[in-house]
């Protein structure tokens, strides 16, 4: 999917929890999130830019010395207005950096499903671009993620609903159609994030509140996008 990212608009999904956290942070007033490929890189960026909040996770939990973990429910209650941040996660930030060559990369989640679908569909149609959905996955991006795939399907469903055509008239790859059908097979959004192995692992870590939070549909009207700032950093900003 990423081999031809330069010709496709990418939508990166890490439903549990990076893209859910990012949309929440931006909706809460964070101006910019620097995307780090590793915990070590995040710490290096923090040393250079101590005014930035250091956020992320390793094994689901905040690394030592970090200001915040990767908890969207925590970000929803934090005072973040006007702040900037650095984020490094096991899967999501790696997936974002892998799409740096794309003409536009958006972040998607259930929290911003409708907005991500609207922006992706509108821009892709205006520019005659295909849309590539990128699942962050599990195990450092090497393993299939049920929840990421289903959330991609949720966004695909919304893109289809926004068009004055039937699903059969939209050209979907087999994987996109599988994601669409997978999403529609769930009885409720909470099951999408709660039933997969990753959701069960987070519950065992005492983070079930994040599952409840990530299961909310269309809470935020934000379409975060990846870009390069004046300092040359790959960052996420509100769209």
* CATH number, domain with residue 122: 3.90.1560.10
Closest CA to 152 of 168, 175, 171: 175
pLDDT band at residue 164 under the 50/70/90 scheme: low
User: How many C-beta atoms lie closer than 10 Å to residue 40's C-beta?
Assistant: 11
Q: How far is C-alpha 97 from the geometric centre of its chain's CA atoms?
A: 12
- Report the number of distinct structural domains present in the chain: 1
Q: How many CA atoms lie within 13 A of 224 on its CB side?
A: 33
Residue 238 pLDDT exceeds 50? yes
pLDDT score recorded for residue 3: 43
Residue 67 pLDDT exceeds 80? yes
State the Cα angle at 179 between 175 and 185, rounded to 5°: 140
Range of the domain at 227: 5-237
Write the pLDDT tens digit of every residue in 98-152: 999 999 999 999 999 999 999 999 999 899 999 999 999 999 999 999 999 999 9
Residue 174 CA: distances (Å) to CA of 37, 50, 99 = 30, 46, 21
- Reply yes or no: is the peptide bond before residue 6 cis, omega within 30 of 0: no
Residue 168 pLDDT exceeds 70? no
* Predicted model pTM: 0.94
Residue 227 pLDDT exceeds 60? yes
């Amino acid at each position: 999917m990423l081999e031809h990212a330069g010709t496709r608009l990418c939508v990166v999904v890490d439903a549990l929890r990076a893209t859910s956290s990012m949309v929440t942070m931006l909706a809460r007033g964070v101006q910019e999130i620097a995307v780090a490929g590793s915990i070590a890189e995040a710490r290096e960026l923090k040393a250079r830019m101590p005014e930035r909040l250091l956020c992320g996770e390793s094994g689901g939990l905040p690394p030592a010395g970090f200001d915040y973990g990767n908890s969207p429910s925590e970000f929803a209650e934090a005072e973040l207005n006007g702040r900037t941040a650095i984020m490094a996660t096991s899967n999501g930030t790696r997936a974002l950096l892998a799409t740096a060559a794309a003409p536009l990369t958006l972040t998607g989640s259930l929290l911003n499903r409708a907005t991500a679908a609207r922006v992706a569909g509108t821009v892709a149609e205006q520019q005659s671009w295909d849309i590539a959905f990128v699942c962050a996955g599990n195990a450092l991006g090497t393993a299939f993620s049920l929840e990421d795939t289903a959330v991609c399907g949720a966004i695909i469903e919304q893109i289809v609903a926004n068009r004055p055509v039937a699903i059969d008239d939209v050209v979907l790859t087999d994987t996109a159609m599988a994601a669409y059908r997978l999403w529609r097979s769930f009885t409720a959004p909470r099951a999408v994030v709660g039933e997969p192995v990753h959701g069960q692992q987070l519950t065992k870590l005492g983070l079930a509140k994040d599952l409840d939070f990530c299961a909310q549909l269309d809470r935020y009207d934000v379409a975060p996008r990846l870009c390069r700032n004046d300092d040359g950093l790959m960052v996420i900003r509100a769209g």
